[in-house]
A and B are shown apart, each in its own frame.
Chain A
Amino acid sequence: MTDNQTLLYTPLAKLHEKLGARMVDFSGWYMPVQYTSVIDEHVHTRQKAGLFDISHMGEIEITGHQSFQFLQYMLTVDLHRLSPDRCMYSLLCNPGGGTIDDCFLYCFSSHKYWLVVNAANIDKDVIWLRKHAAMFQVSIRNISVETAKIDIQGPLSEKVLSSMMTFPVSIVERFNVVEARVANIPAIISRTGYTGEDGFEIYFSANHAEKLWLAFLEFKDIVKPVGLGARDTLRLEACYSLYGHELSEEISPIEAGLAWAVHGKEADFQGKAALLKQKKQPPVKKLYAFEMLEKAVPRTGYDIFIDTKKAGTVTSGTFAPTLNRMIGLGYIEAPGLKPGDKIAIKIREKLYRASITKRPFYTYQGGKTDVKS
């Protein structure tokens, strides 16, 4: 996108500029790609605490006494597994099982939920939800603009956040949700994230965005602001999917290795027949993680070869700062590939050797369980 007038701004965009971040157009949003360097920010998040402006993401509020039934019909997860003040990863699928979006579902009560969705999909998701809402007594409200979101991620997150609150945030367990004040700003906090580290996602009124960002930056050597560049390398080491790369309307969650987020629930839901069939008979095309055995960086869109035949496509690839290796994810059409199996990536007309690896590259460090709870 080159037309500046169509760019969207988070309530922190001006502050990012002022603090010296390098700003880019990220699928229509004017966002910080880095403050100092992707590697520094990545390493800092793994060692101490990284601060992320995630205000571009969408929040959709579902209320009404049939909220439970409506979301049970729209989402791949079984809402019986979610109690109030908890959240879980889920997907919105089309009837063919293709992925409309991946999201986090927050439960406040059986009459009030939030869906936290990808920035680029907000409008599409709202239209999709509204299209099916007529049969249910629910109200759907897009609260994305008035809602700011800051993530704090890394081993020191709990300590930092606790010192900004009136109670120790250690009592909030992974995937729990609490309403509380942070630096005296009313907020909704969940112990979740997209980095492979312990951490929190904080939702609050956009009016307070600069105040809260600066309050976190008071912890000078502990908390450093992190751009979307490191957010991507962090999530890739942890093997979290990124919509538009590992997921799309042509890709099912089963192919993406997300069968654990597609529940064999009794209730009918969008894509149920197609998805449950795929769960029984796994598709030949599947997402694999791999690492390079030769020096070269795999990138989105590069071809994957088995022997001399094209067998797939890279969906994400990078230098992995924590692992000091070149890693990637990609779809490969070949039955029964195992960790250690050899593949090749075509980079500038040359084939470079790579090897299938176990997912994830980097194991969740927050203790207890990761997203697959």
Chain B
Amino acid sequence: MAPKKNSAKRPQPSTPKPSAPARIVKVQSSDGHILQADVRALLLSSTLAATIKGYDDENKPLEKLEVNNVVGFTLKLVLEWCEKHKEDDPAIAQAEKDKKNIFIPSWDRHFLTKLPMGNLFDLITAAYHLDITGLINYGCKTVANSAKGKSTEEMRELFGIPEPWEQPSTSTATWDD
């Protein structure tokens, strides 16, 4: 699919509202999948925002962004999350960055908890590579919530960490060096 709008296009005077027409660009994953995204959604990623700004500064048309460290499956999740949050005030995510207790909105809770833990880890890793503060916050809080109240054994299972064969099966302090 060709992008609907071109970067050269100026905002229309007839649409002064914040809901300016979406500027769609292609995004290519490390395994060659090509997806599409609204530039405003991509700006949530500081890494991609810098690249986009580079194009805009040089007045070059931006047709395709390459994301070399995220595979298609995960990138699709990232873009879905960004699309949902493209109108967010970035100050909120910044303020929540160091907080222990943050509230995860219901859409995000549903979106993140339905993922198997392995995929959630992939998503968090991608959020770090792309520097998306809000997704890092909610992703990490979701992992922390799922660990809450779990024993050491249950955490091992949840996080995909093999049981050390020399370790006894109690959850009290071991590992005394």
The judgment on whether A and B are partners is no
Query: Which of B's residues lie within 8 Å of A, judged by CB?
Result: none
Query: Which of A's residues lie within 8 Å of B, judged by CB?
Result: none
